Structure 1
Amino acid sequence: MAKVRFDGVRKVYDNGQVAVHGASFDIEDGELMVLVGPSGCGKSTLLRMVAGLEEISAGTLSIGDRVVNDVAPKDRDIAMVFQNYALYPHMTVAENLAFGLKLRGHGKAEVQRRVQGAAEALGLAAMLDKLPRAMSGGQRQRVALGRALVREPSVFLLDEPLSNLDAKLRHSVRAEIAQLHRKLGTTMIYVTHDQVEAMTLGQRIVVLDEGRVQQIDTPMALYQRPANLFVAGFLGSPAMNMLRGRLKSSSVDGLALELADGPLLPLGGLTLSPGWFGTEIVVGVRPEHLQPSEAVGHFSAVVEGVEPVGNEIFVNLRHGAQPLVMRVAPQPLPAPGERVGVAVTPAALHFFDAGTGQRLEWVPG
C-alpha cells in the first residue's frame, strides 16, 4: 500500500491544450479515492499519469516516498483495470490471471497461490477452467479485476471499469469492488463520469471540470455543501434546482427571491447578510427540499409532468418561467396543467455568487 501525492501536476499537450491545471492533493494510504467529472475534465489523464502512460508537463507525482515522474510504468508497483476487459480469449480464467505473473518470473507455487487467492476473493474459484466467451460481462470484469489483484500492487487504478455493463451488473460489481477494498485495504484510484458510482464507492471524491479540481471531500459533504455551482449541479439526480434572481425581504412576507421574469418565490424566514440583497444571486434547492403544501406564505406552481419511479415521484413544475423539480414520496398529486402548492425547506437552501459561482456561506437562523 502507498500514499499518492499530486503536487502542482500539470499536463499540456503539444498543441497547447491544457488537460490538467496544477492539481495538488493527496490520496491516503489505503484510501479509495474517486475522480469524477464530465467527459474531457482531466480525470482519466490524471489516472494515466499515475500509471506512467502520460508524461507530466510540470509538478511532481509521488507514490509512497518516491517521486515517479520519470519512473517506467512497470516499475511503479501499480495495477490498472480498464473499461474494456482486455482478456486473452484463447486462455482460461486461470491462465488469464497467471499470465502477467509468469512474465515477471514468479515461481509456479507463488503463481498458484496468488491466482487461487484472487479467484476466491472475487467468486471465480469455480470458473478457473472457463474461457472468457463462456462468461457474462460481469464475470469477465471480475477476471479483469483479478488480473490486477494477483499483482498485489501498492496502488490499484480503475478507469471506468463498469461502463460496459448494464445497470443491474454495474450495481453488483460496484458492491464487489467496495467489498474487495474493505478486505484488502489497498490504495485505489477510481475514475468515473457516473455520480452514483462516485457517491457510493468513494471514501472521498475529487470533482473535476475542465482540468481543474473543483472540490475534494466525502460524498455527503459534497452533496450537502457544494463549493460552487458546478459541483452543486453535477452531483445529485435529479439535479439541484438553480434559481437566479434578487433577494428581497419584508416584515410581511419574509425572505423572497425575485426571479428574472418577475414573480416572487417565498423562501421562508431566514437571516442573511444584508450585502446579498439587491444584487443578483443564485439560490440552489435540492428536489427533496421542495414539498407539496397549501400553507400561507408558500408558492404555487404548474405541474408539467409526474414521473413515478417506484419508491418516489419526480414532479416537474413551472413557477413563471422557472422550471423546478420536486422529489416526493408516493402520493396523490395534481394532474399536468393543474397547480400545486409548494413549500421550501429554508435551512436546506444553498446560496451562490451569480458572478463567480462560488458558495456564499451562511448560518440558518
Structure 2
Amino acid sequence: MASVQLDQVRKVYDNGQVAVQGATFQVADGELMVLVGPSGCGKSTLLRMIAGLEQISGGTLKIGERVVNEVAPKDRDIAMVFQSYALYPHMTVAENLAFGLKLRKHDKATIQARVKAAAETLGLTSMLDKLPKAMSGGQRQRVALGRALVREPAVFLLDEPLSNLDAKLRTSVRTEIARLHRQLGTTMIYVTHDQVEAMTLGQRIVVLKDGQIQQIDTPMALYDRPANLFVAGFLGSPAMNVLRGTAAAQGLQLETGVLVPWNGAAPAAARVGRSLIVGVRPEDLHLAEPGAPGSFAATIETVEPVGNEIFVHLRVGTLALIARVAPRTLPAVGEPIGLQLAAGRLHCFDPADERRLDA
C-alpha cells in the first residue's frame, strides 16, 4: 500500500487544450478517494496520468515516496480496472485471473494461491472454469476486479467500472467494492460521473469541473457545505433547488416578482438589497396549507411516489422546484399548495462568482 500525492499536476494536449489544471491533493495510504464530475471534466485523464497512460505536462506525481512522472506504468505498482471488462474471451476465469501474474514470471504455487484467494473474496470459486461469454455483466466485472486484486498492488485505480451494468447490478457491485476496500485496506482511486456512487463509496471526494478541482472533502461535508453553486447542484439527487433574487427583510424577492419568506431568521448572508442565489435541498422545501404563515404559493405539476418518499414537482410562476416529502395524501396535480423554506438549512451563493456566502 502507498499514498498518492499530486502537486500542481497539469495535462495540456498538443492542440493547446488544457484537460487538467494544476491538480493538487493527497490520497492517504489505505484511503478510498473518488474523482467525480461531468463528462469532459478531466477525471479520467487525471486517473490515466496516475496510471502512466497519459504523459504529465507539468507538476509532480508521487506514489509513496517515489516521484513517478517518468516511470513506466508497469513499474508503478498499480492495478487498473477499466469501464470495459477487457477479459480474454478464449480464457477461463482462472486463466484470466492468472494471466498478469504469468507475464510477471511468478511461480506456479504463488499464482494458484493468489487466484484461489481472489476467487474466494469475490465469490468466483464456482466459476473458475467458465468462459466470460457464459457469465453475467456483474460476474465479468468481478473477474476484472479479481485480475487487479491478484496483483496485490500498492494502489488500485478504477475508471467508471460500473458504467456498463444495469441499476441492480451497479448497487451490488458497488457494495462489493466497498466491502473489498474495508477488507483489504488498499489505497483506491475511483472515477465516476455518478454522484450516488461518489457519495456512497468515497471516504473523500474530489469534485472537478472543466479540468479544475472545485472542492475536496468528505461526502456529507460536500453535501452540507458546498463551496460553490456547481458543487451544490452536482451532488444530491434530486438536485438542489436554485432561487435567484434580491434579499429583503421579509424574504427573497425573486426575479419573477414573487416574495419567498425566510420563515424564521434570515441567513447571515442575506443583507437587505443584496443580489443573492439561495439553494434549497428538496428535503428542506416543506409543503404547507395555502396561505400558511411563512409560506408562498405554488402549483403541483407532477407527483412521483417512489415508495418510502415522494418527489413533488412544483411551479412558482416560471420557476420549477422539487420537494422531497414522506408518503402522505397530497393535493391533486394542478391544485395550489403552500411552500416553506426550512430555517437554518439554506445555502447562499454570490451571483457574481457563484461561491458560497457564509456571512
Contact 2:248 2:271 in 1 (8 A): no
Residue of structure 2 in register with 1:315 after alignment: 312
Amino acid aligned to 2:261: P
In the other structure, the counterpart of 1:186 is 186
Q: 2:302 aligns with which of 305, 319, 330?
A: 305
Equivalent residue letter for 1:322: L
Contact 2:62 2:68 in 1 (8 A): yes
Which region of structure 1 is more displaced relative to structure 2, 313-322 or 140-149? 313-322
| Matched AA of 1:205 | I
Asked if 1:164 is matched to 2:159, the reply is no
3-state SS of 1:47 partner: helix
Q: Which residue of the other structure, out of 279, 289, 296, is the alignment partner of 1:284?
A: 279
Specify the code of the residue in structure 2 equivalent to 1:186. Answer: T
**1: distance between equivalents of 2:102 and 2:273?**
70
Q: Is 1:73 paired with 2:70?
A: no
Q: Deviations over 1:47-98 (max 9, x none)?
A: 0000000000000000000000000000000000001001011111000000
In structure 2, relative to structure 1, the CA distance for the partners of 1:272 and 1:124 (3 Å cut) is: closer
Within 5 Å, which residues of 2 pair with 1:84-123?
84-123=84-123
Q: Percent identity?
A: 72
Once residues 75 and 6 of structure 1 are traced to their aligned partners in structure 2, the CA distance between those partners, rounded to angstroms, is 18
Mark the runs of 5 or more structure 1 residues left unpaired by the alignment: 250-254
Are residues 1:267 and 2:256 paired?
Answer: no
CA apart distance, 1:341: 1.3
What's the CA shift for 1:343? Answer: 1.7
1:272 to partner: Cα distance: 4.3
Identify the residue that residue 29 of structure 2 maps to in structure 1.
Answer: 29
Map 1:1-365 onto structure 2 (within 5 A). Answer: 1-249=1-249, 255-273=250-268, 276-294=271-289, 295-362=292-359
Q: Distance in 1 between matches of 2:29 and 2:213?
A: 21
Amino acid at match of 2:155: V
Structure 2: 5+ residue stretches without partners: none
- Distance (whole Å) between structure 1 residues aligned to residue 128 and residue 14 of structure 2: 45
Deviations, residues 82-125 of structure 1 (Å, cap 9, x unaligned): 01001011111000000110010000000001101100110011
Across the aligned residues of Structure 1 and Structure 2, the Cα RMSD in angstroms comes to 1.0
SS in 1 for 2:252: strand
Q: Distance in 2 between matches of 1:43 and 1:190?
A: 10
Q: What are the Cα deviations for residues 155-198 of structure 1, in whole angstroms up to 9, with x where unaligned?
A: 00000000000000000000000000000000000000001100
Write the distance in 2 (CA, Å) between the matches of 1:274 and 1:228. Answer: 14
Whether the 8 Å contact between 2:245 and 2:252 is mirrored in structure 1 is yes
Contact 2:269-2:357 at 8 Å conserved across structures: no
- For residues 70 and 293 of structure 2, what CA distance do their matches in structure 1 show? 67
AA aligned opposite 1:221: A
Structure 2 length normalisation: TM-score?
A: 0.98
Structure 1 residue runs of 4 or more that deviate by more than 4 Å after TM superposition: 271-275
Q: TM-score with structure 1 length normalisation?
A: 0.96
Alignment-mate amino acid for residue 265 of structure 1: V
Structure 1 CA distance, aligned partners of 2:234 and 2:352? 18
SS in 1 for 2:331: coil
Q: Per-residue CA shift, 1:333-365, capped at 9, x if unaligned? A: 111211011121011100000111000014xxx
Evaluate the alpha carbon distance shift between residue 67 and residue 138 of structure 1 in structure 2; reply closer, same or farther with a 3 A threshold: same
Distance 2:138 2:159 in 1: 16
Secondary structure at 2:248's aligned position in 1?
A: strand
Q: How much has 1:44 moved relative to structure 2?
A: 0.1
Q: Name the stretch that deviates more: 353-362 or 264-273.
A: 264-273
